[in-house]
Structure 1
Amino acid sequence: MTSQESFKRRVRERMARTGERYAAARRSLLTEPPGTSSGWVSEPELSDERVRDATGLGWDEWVARIDAGPGRSASHPEIAAWVTEHAAFSGWWVQTVTVGYERITGIRLPGQMPDGTFTVSRSRTLDVDRETVRARLLDDGGPDTLVPGLALTARSRPGVKSPRFTVTESGPDGEADRGMLMLSTDVVGQRCRVTVTHERIGTPAEAEQWKKFWAEWLVTVADELGADGGDPAR
């Protein structure tokens, strides 16, 4: 379905819901601010048009249906199970609808996982081959040699594409758990993209701090290797 056809369908749905004529319904949709104008707490990952094309319903319709079903007091598994039972799709789209509902209603904040913790990710593309990057990050003393004050303990077998580490921080009261880290290196032409994914962060404020921390850390890696690809950490 083209975007124009999808928009016309939304106009007709509004006409049926509000009793407006076509021109008035169309004008209302064109001037309506996206997302938060409907009372959304935060935006879902995918657009209304894309989720409608894939599932047959838009976000506001999914919110209304789930509100009338398990409701906002339900857990993530309970909502996902209800969507699975009442939809003609499963797997990835069930999770997309469930997480989108949780984002819109404020049950789940951006970056928040089902267990309540937060995940952030930063990446940077470097003008150097993947083997050189992996040798520096994983073989030459490990990634924590570039992050004073943090200890990264390997939690995956040697040689995996995206190794995982527990993160601890030393302080006056001893070591503190700072979550889980995953390092990914991907070939991009003759260059290498390094991605840092930090999981199990306790609060949104800490998540924002770690975003900045790992963006700066990637700049340090690029500077040490003399391999900045001109691609800012994001």
Structure 2
Amino acid sequence: MTEPANAGAIARATGRAWEGWVAAFEDAGGAELDHRGLVAVAARDLGHVDNPDWWAQTVAVAYEQHLGRRTLGQRQDGSYEASASRTHGGTLDEAIGAWRAVVDGLTALGGVPFADAPTETATDGYRRWRVTLADGTRVLAQASLRSGRAVLTLTWSRLASDEDRERKRAELRALLARL
């Protein structure tokens, strides 16, 4: 059995070891289920955890990787995604403001021009900054709270390969270092 890299985090958060999740999926016919079906199987047993929807997605993706349907960082549509995060420690507005200070005036990221102007949205729990790039990829900066501290997570999506994912992750980390 291939254990996912995040098996320890899954076990701590859900109270079930990876072997138990594999057994639960196999008992439900997991090899025949699509992503949505796997999420539904996981969600049945996660009512007791914080953020059960997120953990159901995480466990389902780990099982898909276990089956060989996905590689690390690969999305359901076959594209890849890179992300990096950094604890800011301030408020949500301060965290997204720190990001804006890094990118204000830029017209490209990683050498790829913006296709459109960046947009921003805000809810009680998040602040988001998004931009679509000329090559069709997207960058999202999201400020959220973890344990009462603001965390800024950068995600570069719609990448074509695992190699792109690794390059873009390095670029995201370099941007976070400028905060």
Q: TM-score, normalised by structure 1?
A: 0.53
Q: Hey, what does 2:80 align to over in structure 1?
A: 118
Structure 2 stretches of 5 or more lacking a match? 89-93
List aligned pairs for 1:63-78, cutoff 5 A: 63-78=22-37
Change (3 A) 1:42 1:93: closer
Q: Hey, what does 1:102 align to over in structure 2?
A: 64
Shift of 1:180: 1.0
Q: Hey, what does 1:25 align to over in structure 2?
A: none
Distance 1:105 1:154 in 2: 40
Change (3 A) 1:64 1:149: closer
Q: Hey, what does 1:87 align to over in structure 2?
A: 45
- Greater C-alpha radius of gyration: 1
Structure 1 stretches of 5 or more lacking a match? 1-38, 169-175, 223-227, 229-234
Shift of 1:77: 0.5
Change (3 A) 1:93 1:144: same
Give 4+ residue runs of structure 1 displaced > 6 Å after superposition: none
- Are the equivalent residues in 2 in contact too, given 1:51–1:59 (CA < 8 A)? no
Distance 1:87 1:167 in 2: 39
Distance 1:158 1:218 in 2: 20
- Are the equivalent residues in 2 in contact too, given 1:118–1:203 (CA < 8 A)? yes
Shift of 1:164: 0.5
Shift of 1:193: 7.1
- Are the equivalent residues in 2 in contact too, given 1:42–1:106 (CA < 8 A)? no
Are 1:182 and 2:161 an aligned pair?
no
List aligned pairs for 1:166-177, cutoff 5 A: 166-168=132-134, 176-177=135-136
Q: Which of 129, 133, 150 is the equivalent residue of 1:163?
A: 129
Distance 1:136 1:100 in 2: 34
Q: Hey, what does 1:134 align to over in structure 2?
A: 100
- Are the equivalent residues in 2 in contact too, given 1:122–1:197 (CA < 8 A)? yes
> Whose relative contact order is higher, 1 or 2, with alpha carbons under 8 Å and at least 6 apart?
2
Q: TM-score, normalised by structure 2?
A: 0.66
SS at match of 2:133: strand
Q: How many residues are aligned here?
A: 162
Task: Please identify which structure carries the higher helix content.
Answer: 1
| Higher mean displacement: 205-214 or 89-98 | 89-98
Shift of 1:137: 2.0
- Are the equivalent residues in 1 in contact too, given 2:7–2:17 (CA < 8 A)? no
CA deviations over 1:38-96 (Å, ceiling 9, x no partner): x316323544641562xxx4211221231232332421002122344x53635344323
Q: Calculate the aligned-residue CA RMSD, in Å.
A: 3.6
Q: Hey, what does 2:168 align to over in structure 1?
A: 210
Change (3 A) 1:197 1:83: closer
Letter in 1 for 2:107: D
